[in-house]
Amino acid sequence: MSAFATSLSLSLDALPQQFEIKPFAAPLGAEIIGLDLSKPLTEADFKRIHQAHLDHALLVFRNQQITPEQQIAFSRRFGDLQIHVLKQFLLADHPEIFIISNIIENGQPIGLGDAGKFWHSDLSYKELPSLGSMLLAIELPEEGGDTLFASQQRVYASLPEHLKKAIEGRRAAHSYTARYDDEVVVGVQRPKLTPAQLAEVKSVVHPVVRTHPETGEKVLFVNENFTTHILDIPEDESRQLLAELFAHSARAEFIYRHQWQPHDMLFWDNRALVHLAAGCPLDQRRRMHRTTIQGDAPF
């Protein structure tokens, strides 16, 4: 069922909201000003937001003091939600929300503290990777904590011809565990995955260049966090080719750097962007709530 169809029953009694869509002076992204996501949206308002998401790949909704239920409901208007493999970091009674946090309580992390330290597209390691993610600021550090986004549509369009030729028709493997054991935050190792969890994140194969299913644009679809190798070429050639692609994909001219404000909620397109968490001082508390919308099999 389409997102529009699933949202219809939620918007029958809604009143139109007056809001502005203000593009950033950056390669991607736009700010949504004056919209209150705690209130129902009309179908026209939702379609306007949906189109803005396709046009800009990243939307920043300001001052969204919404409940977990409201974040989940808005996210579901775009599609089914995906449940993260690290079940211990799901919000109690709301498994659709994944907690990203460096906070330690009673000696245990309350969320995934090191999420996003490498450039990545959320859940590219799944057969059906994410359409998009919504990340809500619950508690922000006084310094640091920025998130960077890079347009992989612009990256592909700007690739030198020798790189475009080298990746034409190629496929690459993606694995959640590729860099999993390397991360330690505040002295806490990532939790060891159980056999059942490992079964949820078996390696998958996707095109190196995918077609965005809604815009039709070509997008580079490899990332340094989850992509392990390119198939059907020698290992050293795969390593070198991926290194060139990763370096090109993170060039400054493709990047928007987001400095978080209280109650920001970001909605980005994982089919079009990669992102990176810049980190913050270890003594600065940070807590974010993420919902993740399921997408289609890349082609």
Q: Could you list the active site residues? A: 120, 122, 275, 290
Quick one: tokens of 120?
């990545």
Question: 118 by DSSP, 3-state: which?
Answer: coil
107 token code pair: 């000696």
Q: How far apart are CA 159 and CA 219, in angstroms?
A: 11
User: Alpha-carbon distance 167 to 230, whole Å?
Assistant: 9
CB 81 within 8 A of CB 73: no
Rounded to an integer, what is the distance from CA 18 to the centroid of its chain? 27
For residue 24, the one-letter residue type is F
Q: Is 95 helix (H, G, I), strand (E, B) or coil?
A: strand
CA 227 to chain centre: 15
CA–CA dist 183, 164 (Å, integer): 32
Q: In this structure, what DSSP letter does residue 276 have?
A: E
Token code pair at residue 32: 């949504």
